[in-house]
Chain A
Amino acid sequence: MDSSLGQTRANGFGCDEDVLKVIYESISDLNVQLSRQQRIEKSPHAVLFGAGGKLDSLGLANFIVIAEQKLYDSLGFRIDLTENDPFSPNAGHFRTIESLANYVSDLASRRTKAPQ
């Protein structure tokens, strides 16, 4: 997994910083429905889901649809964040904001490299 967050990726359409910005905007929207204790910090290392995470499965599902919509608005094409079961204990991409940003960047990168 790429851990070069904060650095611009030359993938033709966007970069990790763009993705991180969209994720933070999604978190702002999600935090409105969460109690003060549950609100998620906008930091790459904030734990989202799984042990020590603040989101339950409903919270994660809400976060996914908010983020998918914002990514679509930002990138101009749809990314399916449930391609790999997000609730599976083996799926680590929703563990932290950093792991999610890398996952999204990889999905987006694959999307742009795929034959049209």
Chain B
Amino acid sequence: MQAGRSTALKLYLISDFNLETLGHYLSNGSTWPQVAATSAPFGQVFPALLHPGPDPLDFALVWTSPEKVVPAFGDALKSIEIDEDRVLAELGEFANCLHQAQTHFRAIFVVSWTLPAHQRGNNILGLRRHGPRRLLLKMNLALAEKLENCASVYLLDGQRWMDENSYSPKLWYLTKTPFHPAVFSRAAGDLKAAISGILGASRKLLVVDLDNILWGGVVGDVGWEELRLGGHDYVGEAFLDFQQALKSLRNRGILLAIVSKNDEAIAMEALNKHPQMVLRPGDFAATRINWNDKAANVAEVAEELNLGLQSIVFIDDSPIERARVREALPEVYVPEWPDDKTLFASTLLQMGCFDTAYAADEDASRQQMYATEGHRKLSRQMVSSAEEWLLSCHTVVTVEEQCDANRERVVQLLNKTNQMNLATRRLSSQELQIWLQQENRKLWAFRVSDKFGDSGLTGILSLEIRSEIARITDFVLSCRVMGRNIESVMVAFAAQHCAALGLQELRADYTPTAKNKPCLRFWMSSGFSYDEGKNRFLWLLRQPYPFPRGIEVRLPSLPVSI
């Protein structure tokens, strides 16, 4: 599947109630990605999961009523005493079915179970042993645990979409739809965010202004001592909470940057000295504090961090600055921002554009790696040539085969990387394993470190061999390490591996997308011959392809026949 493709993704809606309204919101919404939703036969949850039909489908959404999937829970709702083992057994059948259904879809989204507010039961005992609400909490937890090892099944929190008006008895009796349309509207938004995350299109960088965004007041006018931040002041507390919300995003691996019209020394003094400042200069991967055009500054930050503009969110209190960035950089997401400071944190925390399907270690430490990258760039400015600089970094590349330990990160990288990506294949963990089942296919992961720090698992190379020709299927490198000759290490590894197997040719077929021109530029300089008509790069393996100078490459065991 190609990122940014124009055809609609096929989503199969599986439910024991009428989900057509959700299908309408998804199919008729104008936001990306485009989705074409079709509904499985009403009430046929298990058959629809196991035998979805002959037409290929991308995703499934499974939204069920707890009392229908787990009839024992229905008994509990009727105040009939039940055995919890029966509940878990019935729930286990559902989880097994979801597990088996993974082969039919790239990903399956399962909505957690909820109870309507009017189903209050005996609220005093609802959370006691055998109380229905306690049982439902247990069921959701048990389902989450049983699905933990299903790499392409994601449990979505349905409670997020509910309020006191969410259940509509009238719609139920009229159309067998239990929920008010507003619930489906919210669900459609979250589902699209989840699909975007799986497609690798979530936003990676949040650029913020300073005055009246991180703190109240204009630091250049009032000085850092008089800023409204924390203290016994409701506005100050709101700014403090907003900074804490930003920090939590940073801890999730979202990069933060500052673009602000200010005197840099004054702004930095505030960031360093204010006792209640949550975010300090080290929390930001890049800063542009000057009087230049903000759109130009945002573009510079993107370039500095090797990120595409489509990865960026820009938050500013000034409608003029927001309009300017929107107009100059339409790929940057510029949300409307409330004037009311008390809404800042909740507005940020509601945004779905940062949703990702993975939380690998590299995500959490990404900010640190970018900070390290900042030191790398500083060092680069101090040495005379790019080559000299690369040599001085003492880079080590460790090649490892794809295995259980690195699978999650490999799949994450495969699905998130846009710029240095030869084919932009997007595969679930299961799809990748199926692809690798053929003996003539193999995949390696590349870890990169240097004297500045560890960049982690940042490269993927996969090969498919037919007779005497090897084809590079995936050639993926995180933008964090682009331009440091890791690309050449990967190509040399492929060439040397294939030569050792006695093959004749190594090919790389480039699939252009809106975002992977950097990949083309690298391959154009790779030394391979280029067939423009086929977008194919070719290397005859009788010629050696050496590793670049000055990089230590730690190889896995010697090549075996693949």
Find the B residue at minimum CB distance from A39: B28
Structural contact, B165 and A64, CB atoms closer than 8 A: no
Chain A residues near B174: list those with CB within 8 A: 57, 61, 64, 82
Chain A nearest CB, measured from B155 CB (Å): 25
Structural contact, B21 and A58, CB atoms closer than 8 A: yes
Structural contact, A33 and B28, CB atoms closer than 8 A: yes
Say which size band chain B's interface belongs to.
Answer: 10 to 19
Work out how many contacts link A and B, with CB atoms closer than 8 A.
Answer: 49
B20 interface hit (Cβ, 8 Å): yes
Query: Which residues of B15-57 have CB atoms within 8 Å of chain A's CB atoms?
Result: 18, 20-21, 24-25, 27-29
Find the A residue at minimum CB distance from B20: A58
A27 interface hit (Cβ, 8 Å): no
Chain A residues near B175: list those with CB within 8 A: 57-58, 61
A69–B168 Cα gap in the complex (Å)? 11
A107 interface hit (Cβ, 8 Å): no
A41 interface hit (Cβ, 8 Å): no
A88 interface hit (Cβ, 8 Å): no
Q: Which of B180-188, B464-472, B496-504 contacts A (4 or more CB under 8 A)?
A: B180-188
Chain A residues near B177: list those with CB within 8 A: 58, 61-62
Structural contact, B180 and A33, CB atoms closer than 8 A: no
A35–B20 Cα gap in the complex (Å)? 13
B394 interface hit (Cβ, 8 Å): no
Structural contact, A58 and B18, CB atoms closer than 8 A: yes
A64–B171 Cα gap in the complex (Å)? 9
A36–B177 Cα gap in the complex (Å)? 23
A91 interface hit (Cβ, 8 Å): no
Structural contact, B185 and A33, CB atoms closer than 8 A: yes
B170 interface hit (Cβ, 8 Å): yes
Structural contact, A69 and B20, CB atoms closer than 8 A: no
Structural contact, B165 and A69, CB atoms closer than 8 A: yes
Chain B nearest CB, measured from A27 CB (Å): 12
A47–B184 Cα gap in the complex (Å)? 25
A9–B392 Cα gap in the complex (Å)? 84
A66 interface hit (Cβ, 8 Å): yes
Cβ contacts B502-537/A at 8 Å (1 or 0 each): 000000000000000000000000000000000000
Taking a contact as CB atoms closer than 8 A, the residue among A29, A33, A61, A64 that contacts B24 in the complex is A33
A32–B28 Cα gap in the complex (Å)? 7
Cβ contacts A21-52/B at 8 Å (1 or 0 each): 00000000110111110000000000000000
Structural contact, B170 and A33, CB atoms closer than 8 A: no
With A57-B175, A82-B170, A82-B174 known as contacts, the answer to whether A34 contacts B21 (CB < 8 A) is no
With A61-B175, A82-B170, A82-B174 known as contacts, the answer to whether A32 contacts B185 (CB < 8 A) is yes
Chain A residues near B28: list those with CB within 8 A: 32-36
Chain A nearest CB, measured from B130 CB (Å): 34
Chain B nearest CB, measured from A86 CB (Å): 8
Chain B nearest CB, measured from A29 CB (Å): 7
Structural contact, A29 and B170, CB atoms closer than 8 A: no
Query: Which residues of B155-177 have CB atoms within 8 Å of chain A's CB atoms?
Result: 165, 168, 170-171, 174-175, 177
A106–B434 Cα gap in the complex (Å)? 65
Query: Which residues of A59-109 have CB atoms within 8 Å of chain B's CB atoms?
Result: 61-62, 64-66, 68-69, 82
Find the A residue at minimum CB distance from B27: A35
Find the A residue at minimum CB distance from B23: A33
With A66-B181, A69-B165 known as contacts, the answer to whether A33 contacts B171 (CB < 8 A) is no
Chain B residues near A30: list those with CB within 8 A: 181
A99–B432 Cα gap in the complex (Å)? 58
With A58-B18, A58-B177 known as contacts, the answer to whether A65 contacts B171 (CB < 8 A) is yes
Taking a contact as CB atoms closer than 8 A, the residue among A33, A35, A36, A82 that contacts B181 in the complex is A33
With A58-B177, A61-B174, A82-B170 known as contacts, the answer to whether A32 contacts B25 (CB < 8 A) is yes
A61–B184 Cα gap in the complex (Å)? 14
Chain A nearest CB, measured from B61 CB (Å): 16
Chain A residues near B181: list those with CB within 8 A: 29-30, 33, 62, 65-66
Chain A residues near B24: list those with CB within 8 A: 33-35
The 8 closest A-B pairs by CB, nearest first: A33-B24, A61-B174, A61-B175, A35-B28, A33-B25, A62-B181, A65-B168, A58-B175
Besides A33-B24, A66-B181, 12 more A-B contacts (Cβ < 8 Å) are: A30-B181, A32-B29, A33-B25, A33-B185, A36-B28, A57-B175, A61-B175, A62-B21, A62-B177, A64-B170, A65-B181, A68-B170
10 residue pairs of the A-B complex, CB under 8 angstroms, read A34-B28, A35-B24, A36-B28, A57-B175, A58-B18, A61-B171, A61-B177, A62-B181, A64-B174, A65-B170
